[in-house]
Chain A
Amino acid sequence: MRIRVLPLGFAYIFLSAVVSAAAANTGNNALYMIAALMLALLVVSGILSTHSLGRLAPGRASGNDCHARSPTPIYVEVLNRGRWTLCGIRVNGRPCPPIPPRGSRLVRLEVEFPRRGLHDLPPLELESRFPFGFLARSRRSAGGGAVLVFPALDTRGSPPRSTREEEGMKERSSRWGEILDHRGLKPFQEGEDPRHIHWKKSAQRGQLVGVEYDRRSRGSVELFLNTREPDPARFEHEIEGVAGSCDALSRRGAPVALSTPGARIQAGTGEGHRRRLLGFLALVEREP
């Protein structure tokens, strides 16, 4: 546990010293009373600060994808097991809203990992300025679990968007592999993609009108990663390139397969498949 006296605390200590000196100099017992009260308030502040810190506990952490070398937001739950509403709480320097008794609050943190792989969440530094903001007491606590850090995404090698996609006038693409030709208009049905609503016609007719498309399918993409690359730095670079392509293609709806000299992941689409690919790339090791 560390103690830091905050500027307000320094000012308060200075004021207490001034009042105490005035009391000692004049012999005025009313001033002695004020000085004793001010010192008592400092003592109470210290005791309560320690107490409140003991009542704080980190809860679960949740967050989105975490990629190497890029700051990623995570949300940490901070629990208050005490009977006071705790204010002036900070987690890793981030202020936390007042936590009611027996309640919890989420604090948004940003973490950054230098390398892909399975990492422990960084330790949390819980700091309490409760009750008056004179002292900041802090303690370190375990981060609350492990996190799979995906490789950094190198998008320089990812396939370019098609010319037709970029024009985006006559045809729309909702998913990779589905080239959509504009055919006509039809009443919009519930459950259809809202992006296909023709807003101008809907406004003219007073009801939702959807655009009808012709669908054509396109084939899957297979990416290859050479795990026998002798140069470790180049290997990592390749992983980042493959990860960038996987991410970009998957987000555009393309069925992506990934193969290495010793393993293969079948083609698939969707968020789960994308995470499966990135997870594989996060843990893959170079073969000798």
Chain B
Amino acid sequence: MIDLLLAALLGALPLPLTDLVPWWAGALYAAPLLAQAWRVRGGRRPAEMSAPWMNAFSLACLALFVVDMMFISRRLIQVAVHLSLSLIALKAFHLRTGRDRAQFALLAFFLAVAGAANSTHPLLALHLLALTVLYASWLMQAAGAPPRSARRTAAVLSGACFLIAAPLFLVLPRLRDPYVPGVQQRAGEAPAFTLDSLGLGGVAMSRNDERVALRVRYEGPGIGEESLRLRARTFSDFRGRDWGNGAMRHRMVRFRPDGTAWLGPREGRRRPSYELFPKELSPQYLPLPYGTAGLEARLAYAHAGIDGTVRLSSAVSRRQFHYRAFVDPEAAPPPDPAGEGHLALPPALDRELRALAGEIMPEGLDPPAQVARMTGYFASEFRYAIEDYGAARDPLREFLFVRKSGHCEYYATAGALLLRARGIPARVAAGFMGGERNPLQDYYVVRFRNAHAWVEAWMDGAWVVVDPTPPDFRPSLVRGTLAGQAQFLWETISFFWDRHVIGFAFGDQVDLLETLEEASGPVGRAGGWLAGAALLALAALKAAHSFRPESVLLRRYRRLRRAAARLTKARESTLTPQAVEQAVLAQSPGLAAEAAAFFGAYRRASFGVKQRKGENAARPAYRRLRAALSERRSGDQRPGPFPHSTL
């Protein structure tokens, strides 16, 4: 029983880590189970609740369920989990019979499934292993094994289960894209650039967020600081407090059967390429490196903007997927000329911006020189700080003329507007910059704190990246050190788990099969087919041998015994063959010969004598006996005298 209580505790462990159950509710649930486990471990009987109290509390739980559904949680899954928790905690006080324990185990099992299904952590494997040990131990104890032996055996069996489950996990058919509950983000947690507008301070909110947003694997020549600047969106319309991009036009891009889609008019080069694996990020706009000419992903279609950004349909955002971006600087850029909108200034700051721009970027300089003056001005006169001027009447004025300190979004906004004031079309871009290189495996970890905003300026007929944020305060590319290897080891495990377990999909199954096929060669393939066929044939033979039909005589005898038991009001299991025979003869004395023939054949069969002929010969006798018993049953219900005996 202690195993069952522990299984119920352990099964609910992941729930407080999700938004399904708050911590205090988890503690309320765990307290009675722990108390019961403590009592049982101390050799005492578990505390019990009387049936009337159980019924009263159960009704209270149902009432709570209705209230929860209508006023508190309002989500069916959440409400169902709350109800299960309360019923399990209640049932822990009423574990008298085996049936009670079975009901408790079933409830706890469903709770464990709900907990595991909402978990994406690599430690889920250990959690499932522990649950398997506890449930296996409980099942063995229910089958009659002594507790100590059951636990030891269950531990060994659970290890064997994992070894068998691993290949089973790989071959179970995947019909849909992998669903990852952790990818869903609550309102307010989504990065600013995944929304339709970028508020001043939106990116800065992520600056202390250490969660992994995505991982990037780069294939190509050496990667530089600028190579890990991943743009998700651009914004052209400044509205005083935030940026928008309502006028952006998109076109639908269909993915080919091989999974590729090209953003330009023709196919480009496939190297260098970036493989991006979003983790906590639910990207509606794909972060892409500059120069992206094509994509490879398991998608049907996407929407490409004229600025080169790519937007997904919302349905994809709740599913785990990864994509590859092909970078080809020589590919024709998308037709995205600067327009009048890229020169617009906010009316409230128009005069002051033009005056400041004239001061720091004198006329007569070419655009690159003006850009250099502008970035130099910010580096020398401004201080980087995570500050939010949302409460101020005009945040940008507060940044530019009062505080002279702020973060990347203020720098980018001010830089873009100053360039516009000097007649250079500009817009703000947002995404990620930099990351940490994992020295154990060649990929980069991009965290939410790598979120960044910068400026794109239209110079010499193209959009050029201009970053007004002082270089020391931009997110940068960090090379992992050996000292941090333990952290990166965990990161490697986590990546493997996310990529090959949580994100395992049908395409991975196909890849795996192809890899195996390539590795085995023609001889190996033929051997594999032969071995598979032999295994199937062996299994079929074994099944045919194992599932032998029950003896006809035994079946007929059981029918007669059942009929005799009904007639005599005796328990069927207490009737011996002799008692059945006597009952038959008591009801129909004229059938002595038939009874002798049938029961003689049955006795010979029950002593292991194989007799196909005997079975057939006894059939007429059986029919007469059966008919006689049926007639008696439908007529006289008087029980016949015959001795009872145990079988």
Contacts and interface: CB of A to CB of B under 8 A. Distances in A.
Interface string B107-130: 001000100111110001100100
A40 B165 CA distance: 5
A85 B153 contact: yes
A29 B504 contact: yes
Contact of B546 (A1, A30, A48, A97): A1
B144 A87 contact: yes
B149 A39 contact: no
A34 B128 contact: yes
A88 interface: yes
A26 B176 contact: yes
Interface residues of B, number: 63
Given A27-B179, A33-B501, A71 B646 contact: yes
A152 to B, nearest CB: 10
Interface in B455-472: none
Interface in A6-64: 8, 15, 19-20, 22-37, 39-41, 43-44, 48
Contact of A40 (B139, B162, B603): B162
Given A26-B179, A130-B143, A37 B153 contact: no
B223 interface: no
A1 B541 CA distance: 13
Interface residues of A, number: 51
A129 B143 CA distance: 8
Contact of B172 (A20, A87, A95): A20
B546 A40 contact: no
A84 interface: yes
A123 B178 contact: no
Contacts of B481: none
A30 B124 contact: yes
Q: Which of A40, A120, A129, A133 has the most CB of B within 10 A?
A: A40
A275 interface: no
B51 interface: no
Nearest to B149: A85
Nearest to A35: B172
B178 A28 contact: yes
A135 to B, nearest CB: 10
B164 A28 contact: no
B547 interface: yes
Contacts, number: 159
B546 A98 contact: no
B157 A28 contact: no
B352 interface: no
B117 A3 contact: no
Nearest to A73: B646
Interface string A106-148: 0000101010000110110000011111000000100000000
Nearest to B116: A30
A69 interface: yes
Interface in B255-308: none
A126 B236 CA distance: 81
14 contacts: A24-B174, A25-B175, A28-B117, A28-B179, A29-B504, A33-B124, A40-B160, A40-B165, A85-B145, A85-B146, A87-B149, A98-B145, A132-B140, A133-B142
Interface of A: 1-3, 8, 15, 19-20, 22-37, 39-41, 43-44, 48, 69, 71, 84-85, 87-88, 95, 97-98, 110, 112, 114, 119-120, 122-123, 129-133, 140
